[in-house]
Amino acid sequence: MADFDLIVRGGTVVTESGTTRCDVGVKNGRIEALAENLDGNAETIIDATGRLVLPGGIDSHVHLSQPSGPGIVMADDFESGTRSAAFGGNTTVLPFCLQQKGQSLREAVKHYHSEAEGRCYTDVSFHLIISDPTEQVLGQELPALVKDGYTSFKVFMTYEDLKLSDLELLRVMDVARETGALVMVHAENHDAIRFLTERLEREGRTEPRHHATSRPIAVEREATHRAISLAELIDVPVMIVHVSNREAMDEIRRAQGKGLKVFAETCPQYLVLTESDLDGLNMEGAKYVCSPPPRDAASQDACWEGIEDGTFAVFSSDHCPFRYEDVAGKLAPKGRTSFRWIPNGIPGIATRLPILFSKGVGEGRISLQTFVALTSTNHARAYGLYPRKGDIALGSDADLAIWDPEKKVTLTHDLLHDGCDYTPYEGMELTGWPVTTIVGGRVIVDDGVLVAVRPEGVHVARGQSEYVHKELDHGTA
């Protein structure tokens, strides 16, 4: 009988804390041995000479199979979304389970599980989106769901059907404090966006690029400040998601400097896209409509600075895919009448890691260790998956991404294997690519080919976020 199910030989293993030449022995889905020259045989041996062996990417901010308005269909379900995730070097993704107004949270959770069951190539674990914080939800459902391993929830400060009032935000934060959950905040001021949108529409300025005009930096900065202040009142940690610019970062840094448990996420679109991408002729700009919108070159620089100095704990995709050439997607008829009806979100589940690797590690902005922390380990720590995930350590799940650090790739949509029909990053030249993705010891993608026979990823119940009790050393990098 073989000693191991799988051995990855000859690679350079990178974790958040170091880089070593090391073989990895896997048995029953876990890492069972780490040694410079591992004795023993295995059913499968992968030669990783000249390659990097990293903890598989964890993308803690993705949207799959989410309802997105009448007639609109999200481009990825759990099968296509997690398949694409695996092509991009990810082994776990954290999608959202969205409570519709009037719906019980437990019902929503059941529904998303039924959508995901048997369809995931990577492992998954749900966050909750609280849109209707009734007494029943706050008093009973949320505490019970946190106990069951749904230990993080997202709240929105904008969108008609999702936004919570300050009072409701405080109530949800209070439950998070009581239960030890982590609150994720979408920080944009709803009334300000509504006012600006109505004014733009009255002026006939309805093209896709005015999506960005209707959500300027002040809208995000104000809401970020308010979310932090509310969290301070409750004394609860928060994660400000998809931060796009320096002014919002200044709010976050000020809070961090005061010792508040304020954590932050940014995404590839804020590093490599700008508002001018929304200027495309006809409806082309719709391909880049997401919220907050991409800003300008100075904002990109600011976000890079935040990545380098540890202001950002996590780097996620905010994958929220809609097909372009599709009346159920970006070219929905109503979207032609005003930017406000263009489905809001862009794909990025497969491109997150290669973009940060090439532009961050390759161009000398961050170390490999910081790359691993920002794309895997910190997600595991922030969302209660560590040390089962996010590390290459004895006993951890054998979730690995093997990278060819020299591979030159011109991004094209064909490489991504998602349900979308475009990538906002078409034509981008990158160096470094995840060539093999292994989930729980099973090879899922190898050399551009899906080799998994069937989707066998599982839902993972999570423990408490390490960040809830984190002693503040905001240099997470």
Beta carbons of 288 and 277 less than 8 angstroms apart: yes
Q: How far apart are the C-alpha atoms of 279 and 213, rounded to whole Å?
A: 11
Which residues 303-342 are close enough to bind ligand DUC by CB under 6 A? 318, 320
Q: List, in order, residues 6 or more apart from 324 with CB less than 8 Å away.
A: 286, 287, 330, 331, 420, 421, 422
Beta carbons of 407 and 431 less than 8 angstroms apart: yes
Minimum CB–partner distance for residue 162 and ligand DUC (Å): 8
Minimum CB–partner distance for residue 192 and Zn ion (Å): 16
Which residues 183-202 are close enough to bind ligand DUC by CB under 6 A? 186
Q: List, in order, residues 6 or more apart from 408 with CB less than 8 Å away.
A: 429, 430, 431
Closest CA to 174 of 98, 226, 230: 230
Assess 352 for contact with Zn ion (CB under 5 A). no
Among 269, 344, 396, 465, binds ligand DUC (CB under 6 A): 344
Instruction: Give the DSSP letter of residue 99.
Output: P
Which residues 169-198 are close enough to bind Zn ion by CB under 5 A? 186
Instruction: Give the DSSP letter of residue 319.
Output: B
Q: Of the listed pieces 253-261, 278-286, 310-318, 360-368, which binds Zn ion according to CB under 5 A?
A: 310-318
Which residues 399-458 are close enough to bind ligand DUC by CB under 6 A? none
What CA–CA distances, in Å, run from 433 to 87, 142, 287, 411, 437? 10, 40, 24, 11, 11
Q: Of the listed pieces 209-217, 267-275, 312-320, 388-396, which binds Zn ion according to CB under 5 A?
A: 312-320
Given the complex with ligand DUC, which of 241 and 439 has the nearer CB atom? 241
Which residues 345-404 are close enough to bind ligand DUC by CB under 6 A? 345
**What tokens does 450 get?**
């899906």
Binding-site size for Zn ion (CB under 5 A) equals 2
Which strand (E) or helix (H) includes residue 431? strand 429-439
Q: Which does 384 bind (CB under 5 to 8 A by kind): Zn ion, ligand DUC, none?
A: none
Q: Which does 344 bind (CB under 5 to 8 A by kind): Zn ion, ligand DUC, none?
A: ligand DUC
Minimum CB–partner distance for residue 397 and ligand DUC (Å): 26
Which residues 131-160 are close enough to bind ligand DUC by CB under 6 A? none
Given the complex with Zn ion, which of 317 and 436 has the nearer CB atom? 317
* Helices (runs of H) and strands (runs of E) counted in the chain: 14, 20
Given the complex with ligand DUC, which of 32 and 318 has the nearer CB atom? 318
Binding site for Zn ion (CB under 5 A): 186, 318
